[in-house]
Amino acid sequence: MVAKTAPNRPPLIGLEALGQAAECLRTLAHPHRLRIVQMLLGGRYMVGELADACGIPSHMASEHLRLMQRCGFLTAAKEGRCTYYTIAEPHLANIMACIEARFGGGPQSG
């Protein structure tokens, strides 16, 4: 059976690519990682700054950053003894906008 697409609609994404997308979305699916992305969308930060904002030790923040780097979401740049993290995947802004529109601003946010 051949899958049909509606007129003026792009073809469906292949299952292999959707599997890769699901894996990357699983990586994002953690409150500390989402907080880190939210912060990095506003600028570059060091591990300690991100850890403080999440209320976690630096070694845990480093692990979250490593996982997101592995998916291609972030880049790290050394300046002297400091390492700064920035967003490498511009589409994260769209994902975060959806999350903020759906979950932001309520009494449980914070």
Inform me whether the pLDDT recorded for 6 exceeds 70.
no
What's the pTM? Answer: 0.84
Average predicted confidence (pLDDT) for the chain: 91
N residues, the chain: 110
CATH number of domain containing 67: 1.10.10.10
pLDDT tens digits, 38-69: 999 999 999 999 999 999 999 999 999 999 99
2 in any annotated domain: no
What is the model's pLDDT at position 9?
Answer: 86
What is the model's pLDDT at position 109?
Answer: 45
- The residue segments making up the domain with residue 95 are 28-102
Q: What is the DSSP string of 15-42?
A: HHHHHHHHHHHHHH-SHHHHHHHHHHTT
pLDDT tens digits, 80-98: 999 999 999 999 999 999 9
